[in-house]
Structure 1
């Protein structure tokens, strides 16, 4: 278990956050030899329990891997609980539970951003094994990237959550749009062309826009204005949880509104061909050619034969 007992490293700003905090404590004389030994002792016990649960505590290389995992997870939770304040982090480690609370916090953080396993073969239960491997850290590593890896996983988790939320909230059927921007653009285009819905039930996208365009949609000049489109986007976003809106806006390109305006220009041409009695095949060919020249942001992908 030498990997745990060698937690203090050469530079206070290097290595896993746990090692940085212990180094800070000893250098500032805020951490006594007895307290340091107690923290390391608890870390050793935690590593043994971790290895017993997930690995094999009788195989040295797996016991060392468990120690690496514990150091990484404790570092993650400790950094979150202390907001990277070394003094606050040290106080947490000096509490009676020592590194246990930071470990629990770090583990819950990993659970919250881990993709849900498809089967029951995931070694670490609700924690993704690949993510844990990136968080895991030998105590003498030059630069710990665990926090950055967690932030990457958090971004991907929020993106997946947003994609699912957009599907559930704005679509009445499955859609084939590959990106969040494409999904949001179709929902916004559908709302503009078909109305906002009524009462507390917002209008959901169905695969009927092209038929409705030929039958009962009257295009309004007011729609062909970037300020109007931006205002409608803001209105639609208010239906989503506030904490997710900032992340969603980051996913939208700078040309989102202008590209949607371009698509509305295509809608005018498409409707005119419909009114002239064009065949579904001719409409589909026109749609394909227009999309090759300039991507039709928000235009539905289904065929309407």
Structure 2
């Protein structure tokens, strides 16, 4: 994944257990720089998604030190390079990721906000519903300049097995779920003959269906061009740096199938004129 259409970058993680080790941080940064330089790339996307509890100030400061060293090293060796970092859908210790977001914003070019995996408890729920997306994004805007932010949206979602349904036709589940790319979800929607239902509260579609062999009931919330348009509009209205998708391969690119139309449909709604940068 590249954090901007103008950059080709590597995507690299770092173990949380090594955040307090300055020597390991240094070796990691130098290794990433060599990879970028040897492959004529334009920078690095730091895809750190480790847990940092609020009480672990040492880990929090270690992450800030790692990103700071990466930023200074890359900018010195490759002045026009880009350093970005992936962050969860909200800055308030979401997923127990209690990072120092203001400190990190000073030493990266862009935050890629992963506005997905916004999963509820006990019920099948949107992977990226507008209320939680708006709340998380608003908190980032309270802390950081909007031009530091990219809104990341999903091209995948989850299939939930239903124990029962509520009066509102929502799936009560044990929490078990299976990840599915958009093309598989859309194919299942058509093949099962299920009805697409639009949820106004979350501005998201969903459907339920039964497996023909087991008669088990499943429900899937997902994002399609209609729901994505609302998120793209949100990015434009808040003057973000741009939008991004995770990830491109979730759409079927086989031109010999009917999904050639679906692929074009998904790409067509990207706001090429209303948002400055498009992540691919």
* Same fold flag (TM > 0.5): no
Higher CA-based Rg: 1
Q: Which has a greater percent of strand?
A: 2
TM-score (ref. length: structure 2)? 0.30
